[in-house]
Amino acid sequence: MPAWPFESVPAAGAGGTTKVILRQDWDKTRVALITGGGAGHEPSHAGFIGEGMLTAVVSGEIFASPSVDAVLSAICAVTGEPGCLLIVKNYTGDRLNFGLAAERARQMGYKVELVFVADDIAIANAPQPRGVAGTLLVHKVAGHVAARQGTLTEVKAAAADTARAVVTLGLAFTTCTRSGEAPNLRIAPGQAELGLGIHGEPGARVIAATPARDLVATMVQELRPHLRSAEPLAVLVNNLGGTTPLEMNIVVKELIGSALGAQVELLVGPGELMTALDMQGISLSLLPLNAARREALLSDVQTPSWPGARRVSPVVLQPLPAIATRTFTGSEAPAVRGLIAAMCGALIENEAALNTLDRQIGDGDTGSTFATAARAVLAAMERNELPLAEADQLCLALGDRLGRMMGASSGVLLSIFFTATGTALGRKVALPQALATGLERMQSYGGAGPGDRTMIDALAPAIAALGTGGLKAAAAEAHAGAVRTAAMQKAGAGRASYVNAQNLTGVQDPGATAVAVALAAAAKTKA
């Protein structure tokens, strides 16, 4: 992948400490755009160098304005006959250093103009509003005009027009932390600061950290008086550094659903665009749209970090297809009824014992999980909801009940087992082979097999014995399989897989034991 077309160069006579980043492919035939400021706001500003946006960036130390010499070096490096425009955030250090550099450059014969960005509306009637994330929209509009051979006068006019129109407001739950310093705990848990600056300055006021919808509504309420009603807007949704992508997308959702939502035509972000180190917060920058600004924001650029502006389309929620609820017609088969009643009764009777066993290697709920399922099956049988006389339909009904009523992974696994078995029986597969099919599906989805210390260690040998030795042989093999798990020193699935060998040794797997208990009870009904 080719490197981005800019480089960092030391300023002449600056001892290599000045950080000037500029396009390598720049030929000085168009108006150059220069900006900069303190570090700590990455990807601003270097991430926006490239065709269609910035020509050069001057970086100071963290939150510190670059020196006059550094700015002058950038001007000299990229300015040709068409001249250059300095886009400056409205902080005292930036105004002074960029301003003096511009005066010195003019004295040297360069054409230099400045535009100051003061988009922060946090403090009412502030004599010098701060320049914050809205500056990026100024970069984009000015860069568009410059890329299309605009004159210095035209580029400056477009930048100044955008700077006058854009408004920004920030909100944060934490301030920022400089490397090597202790965290600033100024903002208490459960609170947020509205209108704080990008250098960690205190906000205009402290508010409760309410849900996202309310916070966005508060920000919108503050921003709306600075806009004309009903005008279409471009909105830049900026991550101040420590907010998660999930939270940023929630902000966008709530913004679109807010009182300003119908006016939002273009969206830039959400993303980390002008950050404040690790600050957990956001800012919203709003720019009213006209034909020129719309065209400028939608034009392509070649920069590392500009995310592009995209049109906001209405979100249309489509209903998902309804999943038909399966219903089963009950039928009677006394032998099957007795078999199920015995197995469920044994699981309920052994609920406490199985829980005690599970507490030694897990979270202690295996007995309750199987007993809950057993009670649900007995209740369905009492309501005549189980097709006891049709083996395939009975297995499908059990799979349906267990998937909804049993809970935990055991419930899903047994639901898969019975559903696959019932499907196979419906295709006229013999019962032993149908059960083997159910077991294969259970292993495929669950990821465990014999020897992994799960219920499969009892179920697999039981199914293998059923075809030749009947239910009594199956119960004996299930019991032997469950006993063997006590000697297995590593589990291949489930919570027991996180338990060391010392704690597993001598303890039967509770799932395998539950299978053995149920089959032992079933075998007694055939005695």
Q: Indicate the number of domains in the chain.
A: 2
394 has pLDDT over 80: yes
Specify the pLDDT at position 13: 43
d(CA 282, CA 193): 11
Pair (254, 365) in one structural domain: no
Whether 404 is covered by a domain: the verdict is: yes
Pair (263, 409) in one structural domain: no
For the whole model, what pTM was predicted?
A: 0.77
**Catalytic site includes residue 144:** no
Band (pLDDT 50/70/90 cuts) for residue 363 is: confident
Pair (434, 491) in one structural domain: yes
Q: Residue written as tokens 């940023």?
A: 248
Asked which of 264, 280, 311 is the last residue of a domain, the reply is: 311
Pair (113, 37) in one structural domain: yes
The range of the structural domain enclosing residue 238 comes to: 6-176+188-311
Specify the pLDDT at position 15: 45
Pair (263, 354) in one structural domain: no
Asked which of 311, 344, 360 is the last residue of a domain, the reply is: 311
Whether 204 is covered by a domain: the verdict is: yes
The model's pLDDT over 446-484, given as tens digits with 9 standing for 90+, comes to 888 898 889 999 999 999 999 888 999 999 999 999 999
Which two three-digit tokens encode residue 381?
Answer: 């049988």
Whether 294 is covered by a domain: the verdict is: yes
The CATH number assigned to the domain holding 304 equals 3.40.50.10440
Pair (348, 428) in one structural domain: yes
Whether 320 is covered by a domain: the verdict is: no
The model's pLDDT over 301-320, given as tens digits with 9 standing for 90+, comes to 999 999 999 999 877 888 98
Please pick, among 41, 139, 199, 479, the residue that the annotation labels catalytic.
199
Whether 324 is covered by a domain: the verdict is: no
Band (pLDDT 50/70/90 cuts) for residue 300 is: very high
Pair (68, 148) in one structural domain: yes
The model's pLDDT over 3-44, given as tens digits with 9 standing for 90+, comes to 445 555 554 444 446 799 999 999 999 999 999 999 999 999
d(CA 369, CA 325): 23
d(CA 208, CA 189): 9
Pair (345, 397) in one structural domain: yes
Pair (355, 250) in one structural domain: no
Pair (512, 376) in one structural domain: yes
Which two three-digit tokens encode residue 2?
Answer: 């080719």
The CATH number assigned to the domain holding 391 equals 1.25.40.340
Asked which of 256, 276, 311 is the last residue of a domain, the reply is: 311
Pair (236, 355) in one structural domain: no
404-407-408-411 Cα dihedral, nearest 10 degrees: -60
Whether 218 is covered by a domain: the verdict is: yes
Pair (135, 26) in one structural domain: yes
Q: Residue written as tokens 């010098």?
A: 128
